[in-house]
A and B are shown apart, each in its own frame.
Chain A
């Protein structure tokens, strides 16, 4: 069952592009990572899904319900951590969390205590006395208090120290094991790699690619190290199949994008002494997507 369905979402802020024809689905129990640089459209997509902003066109359904018409029903099942956490400054953390809980029916003090202990959060403090990291902890606790079926996290770890990041990841993994679906946006690739089953790469408001991380890495391009006769390498270096990274005598390091058998047929014409192929790291993949101009990616 699809928990999230985003259909041809388009959002413009006046004349400024937010997102353009974004289209994806997330299955129940899946952890879906949304990767992209600042301004790519990650938060816009999330905020449209939560009806914090309204799409210019397109449709979003969560749990099969319309994101605008059924916003209240959807919100009962969603836990949301915004990228920028801000609350009512004059309130104490305890009062804010109680206020947050009041929207979901019966309070659960045991759950509150457990989450606050795990996130090392002092609920007796006033919100305007908290650091950014502590405000983020408040956001995490209020987002998970009601045991949501769908957890939406917008750049969740910014401001958290490494220990708290670790505890946060553990919490999300536990919630996911419990059956919660997770949609989170980030540009921190290590956390995306750790948590996600599947990722979507977004750039300039459009989804560039979407798959399991392993598939994206293996299908996208290959890092190739080739050892061969230098004269043969000279000829091969000029090929439009490859993008040369380094050349040392009889060794050539290049990136190959395209159908793998075509490369092998090409290489079969040479006297190859050694050949190694590796999938790119997520960082390389990310940089490759975002450094290239639009529409230059070659599908395998």
Chain B
């Protein structure tokens, strides 16, 4: 419990800054929706002028763009990019904190098992993601309430499936933290990884290739696809399997690896 409290206190500092940025971005984008609705015909006419590749690449669907969930699916890709980077960073920093501070000898010589440490750190990360996603959900439904915008079931699917993407990135971050001998540049590494997968998503959308879409990780639960067709059961299975696999390898390495001086 003391490790959980300690980690939560340190992690809270990271979360606060990112949370403000993500929520402001989301609230700003969502607040444009009523204006889009007022000028929907002009907007649709403009979108029809775009090359189909651009529409596909950015996940723009003219038919669903008019709905709140369709609009959310479009803008949420950018929010998800931020959430992906935050998730990788959280995993790397939490599990790799002792590597970052070179304080492994201090913590690992205390009467606490490595299993207990890993679980406490992961629990802090998961709690952080849960809080972030709860607040995002509150903002999404809050904006719809304030502007009296009708909602549909697709919004819940987008938000829940987004959490699964974040979990994949979080455990990917924990795995990187245990595999890398030295951690120094967490922010730039996490940003590069987050953007790397995001560009894969755009390319996969352009190619309309399902396998490639899955490789981009974001594409496992592509917001545009989830909004139109719901969560694909195969992708859900792959996503959950990936979370378990990444978490399992990360845990195994954490409890068995030699600590660097």
A15 CB to nearest B CB, Å: 15
A135 CB to nearest B CB, Å: 11
Q: B111 near A142 (CB under 8 angstroms)? A: no
Does residue A84 face the partner (Cβ distance < 8 Å to B)?
yes
Q: A75 near B258 (CB under 8 angstroms)? A: no
Does residue B104 face the partner (Cβ distance < 8 Å to A)?
yes
Q: Cα distance A192–B89 when bound, in Å?
A: 45
Q: B103 near A86 (CB under 8 angstroms)? A: yes
Total contacting residues, chain B, CB less than 8 A: 21
Does residue A103 face the partner (Cβ distance < 8 Å to B)?
yes
Chain B residues with Cβ below 8 Å from A232 are none
Q: A78 near B256 (CB under 8 angstroms)? A: no
Q: Cα distance A86–B259 when bound, in Å?
A: 14
Q: B102 near A86 (CB under 8 angstroms)? A: yes
* B 93-125 to A, binary, CB cutoff 8 A, 1 in contact else 0: 000010001111110111111000000000000
Q: Which of B215-245 contact A (CB under 8 A)?
A: none
Nearest neighbor of B5 in chain A, beta-carbon distance: A102
Most A CB within 10 A of own CB, among B104, B108, B111, B112: B111
Q: Cα distance A297–B6 when bound, in Å?
A: 52
Q: B113 near A103 (CB under 8 angstroms)? A: no
Q: B111 near A72 (CB under 8 angstroms)? A: yes
Q: B102 near A52 (CB under 8 angstroms)? A: no
Chain B residues with Cβ below 8 Å from A47 are 105, 259, 261
Does residue B138 face the partner (Cβ distance < 8 Å to A)?
no
Q: What band does the interface of chain A fall in when counting residues whose beta carbon is under 8 Å from B?
A: 20 to 34
Q: Which of A47-85 contact B (CB under 8 A)?
A: 47, 50-54, 71-73, 75-76, 78, 80, 82-84
Does residue B20 face the partner (Cβ distance < 8 Å to A)?
no
* B 23-44 to A, binary, CB cutoff 8 A, 1 in contact else 0: 0000000000000000000000
Q: B10 near A73 (CB under 8 angstroms)? A: no
Most B CB within 10 A of own CB, among A75, A88, A142: A88
Nearest neighbor of B6 in chain A, beta-carbon distance: A99
B252 CB to nearest A CB, Å: 13
Does residue B148 face the partner (Cβ distance < 8 Å to A)?
no
A149 CB to nearest B CB, Å: 13
Q: A53 near B258 (CB under 8 angstroms)? A: yes
CB within 8 Å for A88 and B111 given contacts A52-B259, A103-B2: no
Chain B residues with Cβ below 8 Å from A78 are 109
Q: A52 near B10 (CB under 8 angstroms)? A: no
Q: A102 near B2 (CB under 8 angstroms)? A: yes
Chain A residues with Cβ below 8 Å from B103 are 86-88
Does residue A90 face the partner (Cβ distance < 8 Å to B)?
yes
Does residue A288 face the partner (Cβ distance < 8 Å to B)?
no
Q: Cα distance A263–B109 when bound, in Å?
A: 51
Q: A52 near B6 (CB under 8 angstroms)? A: no
B259 CB to nearest A CB, Å: 5
Chain B residues with Cβ below 8 Å from A102 are 2
A125 CB to nearest B CB, Å: 17
| Selected contact of A88 from candidates B97, B110, B258, CB within 8 Å | B97
Chain A residues with Cβ below 8 Å from B111 are 72-73, 75-76, 103-104
Chain A residues with Cβ below 8 Å from B113 are 71-72
| Selected contact of A99 from candidates B2, B13, B108, CB within 8 Å | B2
5 closest cross-chain pairs (CB), A and B: A86-B102, A102-B2, A75-B111, A82-B105, A53-B258
Give me 29 A-to-B residue pairs in the complex whose CB atoms sit less than 8 angstroms apart, sorted by A's number.
A43-B261, A47-B259, A52-B104, A52-B109, A52-B258, A52-B259, A54-B256, A71-B113, A72-B111, A72-B112, A73-B111, A75-B111, A75-B112, A80-B105, A84-B102, A84-B105, A86-B102, A86-B105, A86-B106, A87-B101, A88-B97, A88-B101, A90-B10, A90-B13, A100-B106, A102-B2, A103-B111, A103-B112, A104-B111
Binding site for A on B (CB under 8 A): 2, 6, 10, 13, 97, 101-106, 108-113, 256, 258-259, 261
Additional 9 contacts, C-beta under 8 A, given A84-B261, A103-B2? A47-B261, A50-B108, A75-B110, A82-B105, A86-B103, A86-B106, A87-B101, A99-B6, A103-B111
